[in-house]
Amino acid sequence: MSAVVRWDKVMAGLGPCVAALGVFDGVHIGHQALVRDAVVLARSTGSSAAVVTFDRDPDQVVSPASAAPQLLDLDDKLSFLSGLGADTVLVMPFTHGLAATPPLVFLDEVLLDSMAPEAVVVGYDFRFGHRAEGDVDLLVRYGADHGFTVVAHELVRDGGEPVTSTRIRALIAAGEVAEASRLLGRPHRLQGVVIRGRGEGAEFDAPTANLQVAPFAALPADGVYAGRLAIDGITYPGGISVGFPPSFPEAAADLEVHVIGFRGDLYGRTLTLEFVERLREQRRFERAEDLKAQIRLDLADTVRLSGL
Protein backbone atom coordinates (compact mmCIF):
# COMPACT_ATOMS: atom_id res chain seq x y z
CA MET A 1 0.00 0.00 0.00
CA SER A 2 1.16 3.52 -0.79
CA ALA A 3 2.16 6.05 1.84
CA VAL A 4 -0.48 8.81 1.92
CA VAL A 5 1.03 12.30 2.31
CA ARG A 6 -0.89 15.54 2.69
CA TRP A 7 0.65 18.40 0.71
CA ASP A 8 1.66 21.64 2.37
CA LYS A 9 4.09 24.42 1.49
CA VAL A 10 6.80 23.24 3.89
CA MET A 11 6.60 19.50 3.25
CA ALA A 12 9.73 17.51 2.46
CA GLY A 13 9.88 16.86 -1.27
CA LEU A 14 9.21 13.41 -2.65
CA GLY A 15 12.36 13.49 -4.75
CA PRO A 16 12.71 12.05 -8.26
CA CYS A 17 9.56 10.24 -9.35
CA VAL A 18 7.05 9.49 -12.05
CA ALA A 19 3.82 11.25 -11.10
CA ALA A 20 0.24 10.46 -12.12
CA LEU A 21 -1.94 13.58 -11.77
CA GLY A 22 -5.71 13.73 -11.64
CA VAL A 23 -8.88 14.19 -9.60
CA PHE A 24 -9.55 10.43 -9.93
CA ASP A 25 -13.16 10.55 -8.78
CA GLY A 26 -14.30 6.94 -8.69
CA VAL A 27 -10.85 5.46 -9.35
CA HIS A 28 -12.57 3.66 -12.25
CA ILE A 29 -10.91 1.27 -14.69
CA GLY A 30 -9.60 4.18 -16.77
CA HIS A 31 -7.99 5.80 -13.74
CA GLN A 32 -6.59 2.45 -12.68
CA ALA A 33 -4.97 1.96 -16.10
CA LEU A 34 -3.41 5.44 -15.98
CA VAL A 35 -1.93 4.94 -12.50
CA ARG A 36 -0.66 1.44 -13.26
CA ASP A 37 1.00 2.68 -16.46
CA ALA A 38 2.73 5.39 -14.42
CA VAL A 39 3.92 2.75 -11.96
CA VAL A 40 5.25 0.56 -14.79
CA LEU A 41 7.09 3.56 -16.25
CA ALA A 42 8.60 4.37 -12.86
CA ARG A 43 9.78 0.82 -12.31
CA SER A 44 11.33 0.69 -15.79
CA THR A 45 13.50 3.70 -14.94
CA GLY A 46 14.24 2.74 -11.34
CA SER A 47 12.26 5.70 -10.07
CA SER A 48 9.58 5.93 -7.42
CA ALA A 49 5.95 6.38 -8.42
CA ALA A 50 3.56 8.98 -6.99
CA VAL A 51 -0.12 9.67 -7.45
CA VAL A 52 -1.09 13.33 -7.05
CA THR A 53 -4.73 14.09 -6.40
CA PHE A 54 -7.02 16.53 -4.57
CA ASP A 55 -8.97 16.16 -1.35
CA ARG A 56 -12.21 17.11 -3.12
CA ASP A 57 -13.66 17.75 -6.54
CA PRO A 58 -12.44 21.23 -7.57
CA ASP A 59 -16.00 22.11 -8.58
CA GLN A 60 -17.07 21.83 -4.94
CA VAL A 61 -14.93 24.93 -4.32
CA VAL A 62 -15.25 26.73 -7.65
CA SER A 63 -18.95 26.13 -8.39
CA PRO A 64 -20.54 24.17 -5.54
CA ALA A 65 -24.11 24.71 -6.75
CA SER A 66 -23.37 22.73 -9.91
CA ALA A 67 -20.74 20.29 -8.60
CA ALA A 68 -21.24 16.72 -9.79
CA PRO A 69 -22.18 13.89 -7.41
CA GLN A 70 -19.08 12.10 -6.18
CA LEU A 71 -18.43 8.42 -6.79
CA LEU A 72 -16.22 8.00 -3.70
CA ASP A 73 -15.56 9.79 -0.46
CA LEU A 74 -11.97 10.83 0.19
CA ASP A 75 -11.01 7.92 2.46
CA ASP A 76 -12.18 5.34 -0.06
CA LYS A 77 -10.55 7.19 -2.95
CA LEU A 78 -7.20 7.24 -1.16
CA SER A 79 -7.58 3.59 -0.18
CA PHE A 80 -8.22 2.49 -3.75
CA LEU A 81 -5.45 4.68 -5.15
CA SER A 82 -2.96 3.40 -2.59
CA GLY A 83 -3.67 -0.17 -3.70
CA LEU A 84 -2.51 0.44 -7.29
CA GLY A 85 1.21 0.05 -6.67
CA ALA A 86 2.53 3.60 -6.34
CA ASP A 87 4.95 4.43 -3.56
CA THR A 88 3.16 7.62 -2.49
CA VAL A 89 -0.26 9.22 -2.81
CA LEU A 90 0.09 12.99 -2.43
CA VAL A 91 -3.17 14.69 -1.45
CA MET A 92 -3.50 18.39 -2.20
CA PRO A 93 -6.12 20.36 -0.26
CA PHE A 94 -8.18 22.13 -2.91
CA THR A 95 -8.86 25.62 -1.59
CA HIS A 96 -10.01 28.90 -3.07
CA GLY A 97 -6.36 29.94 -3.05
CA LEU A 98 -5.34 26.92 -5.09
CA ALA A 99 -8.27 27.48 -7.45
CA ALA A 100 -6.97 31.01 -8.11
CA THR A 101 -3.40 29.88 -8.80
CA PRO A 102 -2.30 30.48 -12.42
CA PRO A 103 -1.18 27.30 -14.23
CA LEU A 104 2.52 28.18 -14.35
CA VAL A 105 2.54 29.19 -10.68
CA PHE A 106 0.87 25.86 -9.84
CA LEU A 107 3.63 24.02 -11.67
CA ASP A 108 6.41 26.13 -10.12
CA GLU A 109 5.20 26.36 -6.54
CA VAL A 110 3.15 23.22 -6.10
CA LEU A 111 4.38 20.52 -8.44
CA LEU A 112 8.12 21.26 -8.53
CA ASP A 113 8.29 22.24 -4.87
CA SER A 114 6.86 18.86 -3.85
CA MET A 115 8.86 16.56 -6.15
CA ALA A 116 11.44 16.29 -8.92
CA PRO A 117 9.33 14.73 -11.66
CA GLU A 118 11.05 12.62 -14.28
CA ALA A 119 7.74 12.07 -16.05
CA VAL A 120 4.16 13.21 -15.50
CA VAL A 121 1.25 11.02 -16.61
CA VAL A 122 -2.16 12.66 -17.11
CA GLY A 123 -5.35 12.05 -19.02
CA TYR A 124 -5.24 13.56 -22.49
CA ASP A 125 -7.89 16.13 -21.47
CA PHE A 126 -6.25 17.09 -18.16
CA ARG A 127 -6.77 20.74 -17.10
CA PHE A 128 -5.26 22.66 -14.20
CA GLY A 129 -4.75 26.10 -12.73
CA HIS A 130 -7.01 29.15 -12.50
CA ARG A 131 -10.18 28.68 -14.57
CA ALA A 132 -8.65 25.41 -15.84
CA GLU A 133 -6.48 27.49 -18.18
CA GLY A 134 -3.64 24.97 -18.10
CA ASP A 135 -3.81 22.01 -20.49
CA VAL A 136 -1.62 19.14 -21.68
CA ASP A 137 0.09 21.28 -24.34
CA LEU A 138 1.20 23.77 -21.70
CA LEU A 139 2.35 20.93 -19.46
CA VAL A 140 4.39 19.41 -22.31
CA ARG A 141 6.14 22.74 -22.99
CA TYR A 142 6.80 23.28 -19.32
CA GLY A 143 8.18 19.77 -18.95
CA ALA A 144 10.55 20.30 -21.87
CA ASP A 145 11.91 23.39 -20.13
CA HIS A 146 12.23 21.69 -16.74
CA GLY A 147 13.58 18.27 -17.63
CA PHE A 148 10.59 15.95 -17.48
CA THR A 149 8.46 14.21 -20.08
CA VAL A 150 4.67 14.25 -20.21
CA VAL A 151 2.59 11.21 -21.10
CA ALA A 152 -0.95 12.07 -22.20
CA HIS A 153 -2.85 8.88 -21.43
CA GLU A 154 -5.65 7.95 -23.82
CA LEU A 155 -9.03 7.24 -22.28
CA VAL A 156 -9.88 3.58 -21.78
CA ARG A 157 -12.82 2.63 -24.00
CA ASP A 158 -15.62 0.17 -23.34
CA GLY A 159 -18.31 -0.64 -25.86
CA GLY A 160 -16.79 1.91 -28.21
CA GLU A 161 -17.24 4.73 -25.69
CA PRO A 162 -14.68 6.22 -23.30
CA VAL A 163 -14.87 5.27 -19.65
CA THR A 164 -15.35 8.51 -17.72
CA SER A 165 -16.67 9.52 -14.32
CA THR A 166 -19.44 11.43 -16.13
CA ARG A 167 -20.56 8.27 -17.92
CA ILE A 168 -20.55 6.29 -14.68
CA ARG A 169 -22.51 8.97 -12.83
CA ALA A 170 -25.17 8.87 -15.53
CA LEU A 171 -25.49 5.10 -15.16
CA ILE A 172 -25.86 5.39 -11.39
CA ALA A 173 -28.41 8.19 -11.73
CA ALA A 174 -30.41 5.86 -13.99
CA GLY A 175 -30.21 3.01 -11.49
CA GLU A 176 -27.91 0.92 -13.69
CA VAL A 177 -25.57 0.07 -10.85
CA ALA A 178 -24.42 -3.28 -12.27
CA GLU A 179 -23.16 -1.60 -15.45
CA ALA A 180 -21.62 1.23 -13.43
CA SER A 181 -19.85 -1.31 -11.24
CA ARG A 182 -18.35 -2.99 -14.30
CA LEU A 183 -16.79 0.32 -15.38
CA LEU A 184 -15.67 1.08 -11.84
CA GLY A 185 -14.05 -2.33 -11.52
CA ARG A 186 -15.98 -2.92 -8.28
CA PRO A 187 -19.48 -2.22 -6.92
CA HIS A 188 -20.54 1.40 -6.56
CA ARG A 189 -20.39 2.38 -2.91
CA LEU A 190 -21.39 5.21 -0.64
CA GLN A 191 -21.37 5.94 3.05
CA GLY A 192 -24.11 7.09 5.36
CA VAL A 193 -24.61 7.73 9.06
CA VAL A 194 -27.41 5.73 10.66
CA ILE A 195 -30.14 7.99 12.02
CA ARG A 196 -33.30 7.13 13.89
CA GLY A 197 -36.33 6.26 11.79
CA ARG A 198 -39.99 5.56 12.50
CA GLY A 199 -39.59 1.81 12.98
CA GLU A 200 -42.14 0.69 10.39
CA GLY A 201 -39.78 -1.89 8.92
CA ALA A 202 -39.82 -3.97 12.09
CA GLU A 203 -43.54 -4.53 11.60
CA PHE A 204 -42.73 -6.35 8.36
CA ASP A 205 -39.91 -8.49 9.80
CA ALA A 206 -37.39 -6.30 7.97
CA PRO A 207 -36.06 -3.62 10.35
CA THR A 208 -34.10 -1.03 8.43
CA ALA A 209 -31.25 1.32 9.21
CA ASN A 210 -32.01 4.82 7.93
CA LEU A 211 -28.92 6.49 6.50
CA GLN A 212 -28.04 10.13 6.03
CA VAL A 213 -25.48 10.47 3.24
CA ALA A 214 -22.82 13.13 2.81
CA PRO A 215 -23.35 16.09 0.48
CA PHE A 216 -22.36 15.36 -3.13
CA ALA A 217 -22.72 11.57 -2.68
CA ALA A 218 -23.77 9.83 -5.91
CA LEU A 219 -27.06 8.30 -4.84
CA PRO A 220 -28.62 5.86 -7.34
CA ALA A 221 -32.07 6.37 -8.85
CA ASP A 222 -35.06 5.64 -6.63
CA GLY A 223 -35.63 1.92 -6.35
CA VAL A 224 -34.86 -1.25 -4.44
CA TYR A 225 -31.36 -2.73 -4.74
CA ALA A 226 -29.43 -5.81 -3.75
CA GLY A 227 -26.24 -4.86 -1.97
CA ARG A 228 -23.64 -5.65 0.64
CA LEU A 229 -22.10 -3.98 3.67
CA ALA A 230 -19.50 -4.85 6.26
CA ILE A 231 -20.05 -4.49 10.00
CA ASP A 232 -17.23 -5.26 12.44
CA GLY A 233 -15.33 -7.20 9.80
CA ILE A 234 -18.29 -9.34 8.70
CA THR A 235 -19.93 -8.73 5.31
CA TYR A 236 -23.71 -9.06 5.16
CA PRO A 237 -26.21 -8.98 2.30
CA GLY A 238 -28.18 -5.76 2.38
CA GLY A 239 -31.55 -4.96 0.87
CA ILE A 240 -31.34 -1.26 0.01
CA SER A 241 -34.21 1.15 -0.59
CA VAL A 242 -33.43 4.48 -2.29
CA GLY A 243 -36.10 7.19 -2.36
CA PHE A 244 -38.96 7.75 0.06
CA PRO A 245 -41.01 4.53 -0.10
CA PRO A 246 -44.58 5.28 -1.23
CA SER A 247 -46.00 2.95 1.41
CA PHE A 248 -44.26 5.01 4.12
CA PRO A 249 -44.58 8.66 3.04
CA GLU A 250 -43.35 9.88 6.45
CA ALA A 251 -40.09 7.92 6.31
CA ALA A 252 -37.16 9.57 8.06
CA ALA A 253 -34.64 9.14 5.24
CA ASP A 254 -34.55 8.37 1.54
CA LEU A 255 -31.86 5.70 1.97
CA GLU A 256 -32.59 2.61 4.05
CA VAL A 257 -30.93 -0.78 4.32
CA HIS A 258 -32.06 -4.05 5.87
CA VAL A 259 -28.93 -5.92 6.93
CA ILE A 260 -29.76 -9.58 6.42
CA GLY A 261 -28.55 -11.73 9.30
CA PHE A 262 -27.51 -8.86 11.56
CA ARG A 263 -29.08 -8.08 14.90
CA GLY A 264 -27.85 -5.12 16.90
CA ASP A 265 -27.87 -1.38 17.37
CA LEU A 266 -26.39 0.63 14.49
CA TYR A 267 -27.54 4.13 15.48
CA GLY A 268 -24.82 6.72 14.98
CA ARG A 269 -22.53 4.40 13.06
CA THR A 270 -21.18 5.11 9.58
CA LEU A 271 -21.95 2.31 7.13
CA THR A 272 -20.52 1.74 3.67
CA LEU A 273 -23.02 0.27 1.22
CA GLU A 274 -22.14 -1.53 -2.01
CA PHE A 275 -24.80 -1.62 -4.71
CA VAL A 276 -24.85 -4.90 -6.64
CA GLU A 277 -28.00 -4.79 -8.76
CA ARG A 278 -31.30 -2.93 -9.05
CA LEU A 279 -34.24 -5.18 -8.25
CA ARG A 280 -37.25 -2.98 -8.97
CA GLU A 281 -38.77 0.48 -8.86
CA GLN A 282 -40.41 1.97 -5.78
CA ARG A 283 -44.16 1.35 -5.68
CA ARG A 284 -47.04 1.65 -3.26
CA PHE A 285 -48.73 -1.42 -1.78
CA GLU A 286 -52.31 -1.03 -0.61
CA ARG A 287 -52.28 -4.20 1.48
CA ALA A 288 -49.73 -5.01 4.16
CA GLU A 289 -49.75 -8.67 3.08
CA ASP A 290 -48.66 -7.72 -0.43
CA LEU A 291 -45.84 -5.56 0.91
CA LYS A 292 -44.63 -8.35 3.19
CA ALA A 293 -44.62 -10.80 0.28
CA GLN A 294 -42.65 -8.39 -1.90
CA ILE A 295 -40.12 -7.75 0.87
CA ARG A 296 -39.55 -11.49 1.23
CA LEU A 297 -38.91 -11.75 -2.52
CA ASP A 298 -36.58 -8.74 -2.47
CA LEU A 299 -34.54 -10.13 0.40
CA ALA A 300 -34.28 -13.57 -1.20
CA ASP A 301 -33.02 -11.93 -4.39
CA THR A 302 -30.57 -9.86 -2.36
CA VAL A 303 -29.06 -12.94 -0.74
CA ARG A 304 -28.80 -14.66 -4.13
CA LEU A 305 -27.16 -11.70 -5.86
CA SER A 306 -24.88 -10.68 -3.00
CA GLY A 307 -22.57 -13.64 -3.54
CA LEU A 308 -22.45 -14.28 0.21
For residue 287, the domain's CATH number is: 2.40.30.30
Q: Is the pTM of this model over 0.85?
A: yes
Residue 199 within any structural domain of the chain: yes
The verdict on 150 and 276 lying in the same domain is no
Looking at 106, 128, 162, which one is the last position of a domain?
Answer: 162
The verdict on 126 and 211 lying in the same domain is no
Per residue in 164-193, pLDDT tens? 999 999 999 999 999 999 999 999 999 999
Residue ranges making up the domain that contains 135: 3-162
Q: Contacts by 233-240 with C-beta closer than 8 Å and gap 24+?
A: 235/308, 236/260, 236/261, 236/262, 236/308, 237/261, 237/299, 237/302, 237/303, 237/306, 237/308, 238/273, 238/302, 238/306, 239/206, 239/295, 239/298, 239/299, 239/302, 240/273, 240/275
CA quadruple 138, 141, 146, 148: dihedral positive or negative?
positive
Total tally of structural domains belonging to the chain: 2
Per residue in 193-232, pLDDT tens? 999 876 555 554 557 889 999 888 999 999 999 999 999 9
Residue 170 within any structural domain of the chain: no
The verdict on 46 and 89 lying in the same domain is yes
Residue 177 within any structural domain of the chain: no
Looking at 129, 162, 195, which one is the last position of a domain?
Answer: 162
